[in-house]
Amino acid sequence: MAPEFLRIAYLVLLRNTRVGVDDFGSWKHLTEYSKPAMFQQLNTIIFVLFLYSSIVPADRGDALLPLIRTEHLKAHITALQENTQQSPKRIYRTRSAYHRDASDNAAAYIADQFRRSPRLKVEFETFGGFKNIVARLLPRATSKSNRVFILCAHYDTQSDRDADWNPLTSPAPGANDNGTGVAAMLEIAHLLSQFDYDHELRFIAFDAKEIGLMGSRHHARKAAQAGENIIAVFNIDMIGFNWISDLVEVVTDDSSLWIGDALLIANKWYDLGLEMRRTRDESIDSSDHKSFWDKDYHAVTLVESSTPWRDSRGYEANPFYHTSRDTVDKINFRLVRKVAQLALVTLNSLAGREFQEMTSVPSLTIHPQLVMRQNLPHITGSFESSFPIEIVVNPGNVTAQLDRSNHTYTAAVPLKPGENRVRATAVYPLGARSVEKIITFDSGFAWESVIVFPNPSRQIDELTVFRAEGNLPLEKMSISIYSADGLLVKEIQGVVDASNPRIWRAWWNHRVAFGIGVAMGIYVCRFEALVNQKTYSQTRKLAIIR
Ligand SMILES: [Zn+2]
């Protein structure tokens, strides 16, 4: 536990200090940190140790989430948009793959940002005049795994929806497409490279995506030729233009569905509050996932909408897409941050726990039992898991509410009176585990039908009939009628049916006790039944009109 505390504490320290961020990329460098500054930061470390040990002892993901900072994302996106060359001083404002001076300048920025973390092995991958930037976090020394997890984003831009687009002279700032994806990737690479994983984590900024997915095609082809064991590719392409909802679409094919599941489960587990749409469509070829699909690797793309030029549910068409007006001021940073957090914790979890050679099954216990809440049968139980799971309860296929702080779950389940075979299933990206238990549901009293007729009632002298039927004989029953403002207008005892004691009826002529007719309007009718010394109630509305 202790080294984990220290790494998280150190990360927070890094994120809180402007000085030395570039110089101290790994834990061992902290010892070289100057002593007075060290003391200034000591309180921060102690505070974080306290927070970390008292609130989130089990899950690194929880501790990582707040370290994705809007100001860092914004700084990257602004730098990529302006794409300023220091000497000779020049502002390109484009990263068109055809404009090599501009592209090479952006590639140098990305490489420098990767190099903030000395544990990342950074190299340029050149092909046909283009340039990917690849940063590898190698597996821990003792690991024999050859698995590779990839997080990627293209960095080239184009403004081909502008009428006079010229790749060599026109601006293509690409703040959203795809400054957002590159910024998220850079921050995630920086955070995750502080840890050791059993598998390689590979972060790639692709060139020449906009002119035919050329960067990713090159990388995927080489990987396939070398027989690389790429397990999952998370591609982020354009995640910041949406001011009406926190929506992210995950594009998958059949074999990549499990990566989509991992993202969906993590969104709920970490309570990120993203609205997620998983789109399984092998014909979507508009981003770099496609190059990996074509080599039979599993890949998904996270995107604000797979059709950004068109309105869809929760999304308004992005008028700045592929134009010179795609700038940082149009970006919803809350959304970018959430998507970055989602990719961060999902990748950390998959590479860190779920694909561990020794423990690829969750440490999980489920003990379903029955409780009644609001007259409805609920199944509750406990769970333990070292990574995100979802719990589904049957009958009813109900997704349970998880309370991670108490390790408990609850689900309202449609049980029948008598014996029920209840199954709780922990679902995780690589599989599922179930426990079953026979649970006897003694339903007690239940309403079978409650009727107010006719409704609306049209005439002042017409009788309204109230009829209720239960599953058990009714000892006593009454109805209380309230006006819309809550005043009791009338109480009626009614009669139990002589031949069937489960049925009760009452009648009302729309008059109060003194024989005065009630005003037209909406009335609330409260049925109350006494069964086995317990009171059960139901309400219905009655409209009286002329
Ligand atoms: Zn793009």
Query: How far, in Å, is the centroid of ligand 1 from the Cα of 201?
Result: 22
How many Cα atoms within 13 Å fall on the side-chain side of residue 347?
36
Query: How far, in Å, is the centroid of ligand 1 from the Cα of 234?
Result: 14
Q: Is the pLDDT of residue 137 over 50?
A: yes
Q: Give the mean pLDDT of 56-65.
A: 79
Express as a percent the part of the chain with pLDDT over 70. Answer: 87
Query: How far, in Å, is the centroid of ligand 1 from the Cα of 215?
Result: 12
Statement to judge: residues 342 and 463 lie in one domain: no
Q: What distances in angstroms separate CA 118 from CA 23, 114, 190, 197, one per listed residue? A: 9, 8, 10, 16
Query: How far, in Å, is the centroid of ligand 1 from the Cα of 241?
Result: 12
* Residue 257 covered by a domain: yes
Query: How far, in Å, is the centroid of ligand 1 from the Cα of 275?
Result: 21
Tell me which residue range forms the domain holding 454. Answer: 447-544
Statement to judge: residues 297 and 434 lie in one domain: no
Query: How far, in Å, is the centroid of ligand 1 from the Cα of 71?
Result: 22
Q: Is 302 helix (H, G, I), strand (E, B) or coil?
A: strand
β-strand partners of 538? 527
Are the C-beta atoms of residues 112 and 227 closer than 8 Å to each other?
no
How many Cα atoms within 13 Å fall on the side-chain side of residue 4?
15
* Among 441, 456, 477, residue at a domain's last position: 441
Are the C-beta atoms of residues 155 and 80 closer than 8 Å to each other?
yes
Contacts of 36 (CB under 8 A, 6+ apart): none
Lowest-confidence range among 225-239, 251-265, 515-529?
515-529
Q: Give the separation between CA 151 and CA 234, rounded to whole angstroms.
A: 5
Query: How far, in Å, is the centroid of ligand 1 from the Cα of 397?
Result: 38
pLDDT, one tens digit per residue, over 115-129 is 999 999 999 999 999
* Residue 44 covered by a domain: no
Q: Is 316 helix (H, G, I), strand (E, B) or coil?
A: coil
Are the C-beta atoms of residues 250 and 263 closer than 8 Å to each other?
yes
Query: How far, in Å, is the centroid of ligand 1 from the Cα of 209?
Result: 7
Q: Give the mean pLDDT of 480-497.
A: 92
Work out the widest C-alpha separation in the chain, in whole angstroms. 100
CATH of the domain at 517: 2.60.40.1220
* Residue 297 covered by a domain: yes
Best CA proximity match to 504, nearest among 474, 531, 484, 530: 474
Statement to judge: residues 404 and 470 lie in one domain: no
Query: How far, in Å, is the centroid of ligand 1 from the Cα of 138?
Result: 28
Statement to judge: residues 242 and 390 lie in one domain: no
Band (pLDDT 50/70/90 cuts) for residue 7 is low
The amino acid sitting at 16 is: N
What local confidence, expressed as pLDDT, does residue 23 receive?
A: 30
**More confident: 192 or 442:** 192
Query: How far, in Å, is the centroid of ligand 1 from the Cα of 385?
Result: 36
* Residue 33 covered by a domain: no
Statement to judge: residues 433 and 487 lie in one domain: no
Beta strands 147-154 and 200-206 are parallel
DSSP assignments along 494-525, one per residue: -EE-SS-TTEEEEEE-SB-TTSPBPPSEEEEE
Band (pLDDT 50/70/90 cuts) for residue 11 is low
Best CA proximity match to 316, nearest among 247, 374, 266: 247
Query: How far, in Å, is the centroid of ligand 1 from the Cα of 154?
Result: 7
Band (pLDDT 50/70/90 cuts) for residue 240 is very high
Are the C-beta atoms of residues 441 and 450 closer than 8 Å to each other?
no
What local confidence, expressed as pLDDT, does residue 33 receive?
A: 34
* Residue 24 covered by a domain: no
Best CA proximity match to 103, nearest among 150, 154, 161, 160: 154
pLDDT, one tens digit per residue, over 78-88 is 999 999 999 99
Lowest-confidence range among 15-24, 80-89, 277-286, 325-334?
15-24
**More confident: 28 or 116:** 116
Statement to judge: residues 334 and 428 lie in one domain: no
**How many other CB atoms are found less than 10 A from the CB of residue 312?**
14
Angle at 475 between CA 470 and CA 478, to 5 degrees: 80
What local confidence, expressed as pLDDT, does residue 246 receive?
A: 96
Query: How far, in Å, is the centroid of ligand 1 from the Cα of 288?
Result: 9
> Token pair for residue 537?
């109630």
Q: Give the mean pLDDT of 323-334.
A: 98
Query: How far, in Å, is the centroid of ligand 1 from the Cα of 202?
Result: 20
Query: How far, in Å, is the centroid of ligand 1 from the Cα of 238?
Result: 6
Peptide bond into 178 cis (omega under 30): yes
Query: How far, in Å, is the centroid of ligand 1 from the Cα of 175?
Result: 10
Statement to judge: residues 321 and 422 lie in one domain: no
What local confidence, expressed as pLDDT, does residue 57 receive?
A: 43
DSSP assignments along 374-440, one per residue: TTEEEEEEE---SS--EEEEETTTEEPEEETTTTEEEEE--PPSEEEEEEEEEEETTEEEEEEEEEE
Q: Give the mean pLDDT of 199-226.
A: 98
* Among 377, 406, 441, residue at a domain's last position: 441
* Residue 25 covered by a domain: no
What local confidence, expressed as pLDDT, does residue 4 receive?
A: 63
Query: How far, in Å, is the centroid of ligand 1 from the Cα of 178?
Result: 5
What local confidence, expressed as pLDDT, does residue 373 receive?
A: 78
Statement to judge: residues 346 and 389 lie in one domain: no
* Among 441, 461, 489, residue at a domain's last position: 441
What local confidence, expressed as pLDDT, does residue 58 receive?
A: 55
Statement to judge: residues 271 and 167 lie in one domain: yes
What local confidence, expressed as pLDDT, does residue 35 receive?
A: 38
Q: Give the mean pLDDT of 295-316.
A: 96
Query: How far, in Å, is the centroid of ligand 1 from the Cα of 148?
Result: 23
CATH of the domain at 418: 2.60.40
* Residue 1 covered by a domain: no
CATH of the domain at 145: 3.40.630.10
What local confidence, expressed as pLDDT, does residue 376 receive?
A: 80
pLDDT, one tens digit per residue, over 279-294 is 999 999 999 999 999 9
Query: How far, in Å, is the centroid of ligand 1 from the Cα of 21?
Result: 29
Lowest-confidence range among 228-232, 322-326, 353-357?
353-357
Query: How far, in Å, is the centroid of ligand 1 from the Cα of 239?
Result: 10
Express as a percent the part of the chain with pLDDT over 90. Answer: 71
Statement to judge: residues 510 and 397 lie in one domain: no
* Residue 409 covered by a domain: yes
Question: What total of structural domains would you count in the chain?
Answer: 3
Q: Is the pLDDT of residue 305 over 50?
A: yes
Statement to judge: residues 342 and 424 lie in one domain: no
What local confidence, expressed as pLDDT, does residue 9 receive?
A: 56
Are the C-beta atoms of residues 9 and 45 closer than 8 Å to each other?
yes
Average pLDDT, the chain: 88
Statement to judge: residues 431 and 528 lie in one domain: no
**More confident: 57 or 223:** 223
For tokens 């970018």, name the residue. 336
Query: How far, in Å, is the centroid of ligand 1 from the Cα of 439?
Result: 52
**More confident: 17 or 470:** 470
Query: How far, in Å, is the centroid of ligand 1 from the Cα of 519?
Result: 64
Most confident of 3-17, 44-58, 174-188, 405-419: 174-188
Q: Give the mean pLDDT of 418-440.
A: 91
What local confidence, expressed as pLDDT, does residue 476 receive?
A: 86
**More confident: 473 or 67:** 67
Query: How far, in Å, is the centroid of ligand 1 from the Cα of 237?
Result: 5
pLDDT, one tens digit per residue, over 431-473 is 888 999 999 887 678 788 899 999 998 866 678 999 999 888 8
Query: How far, in Å, is the centroid of ligand 1 from the Cα of 217?
Result: 15
Q: Give the separation between CA 47 and CA 59, rounded to whole angstroms.
A: 18
Q: Give the separation between CA 151 and CA 399, rounded to whole angstroms.
A: 29
